[in-house]
Structure 1
Amino acid sequence: MAVSEPHLVAHLHSTVWGPAEFVGLPPRRLTARAVLAGGAAVYAVIGCAVAGSWYGVSWFADGEAGLLYVALLILHLCVRRAGRALVGVAALLGMCLVFQAPQAAVSLVLAERGRVETLVVTSVEGGPGAVSGHGRYLCSVADGDGVPLNVRIWRGCGQATRPGDAIAVVYDVKGRVPPRGVEAGSSLLDPLRELGGWAAAFAVVSVVAVVRSHRLSVPASGPKLGSGS
Structure 2
Amino acid sequence: MIRFSLKQIVREGDKGEILGCLKEIASAQPMDDYQIDDLLVKSYFILEETHLKEFVELLYDLLVHMRDPRNVIVLLLKNNTSDTLPLFIYKFIYFVMKNYDFKFNGFYEKLMKSDFIDEESLYFLATVLHNNDDLSASFMRDVVKKLLSRSLETSSQVGLDILYTILFILRSNPVLYSFILEERSMLEMHLESIEEIASVARMIKREAENKKNRVKFVNIASMKYPKIKC
Asked if TM exceeds 0.5, the reply is no
Q: Shorter-chain-normalised TM-score: which range?
A: under 0.3
Q: Structure with the greater relative contact order (CA < 8 A, sep ≥ 6): 1 or 2?
A: 1
- State the TM-score, normalized to the length of structure 2: 0.26
- State the TM-score, normalized to the length of structure 1: 0.26
Q: Which structure features the higher share of helix residues?
A: 2
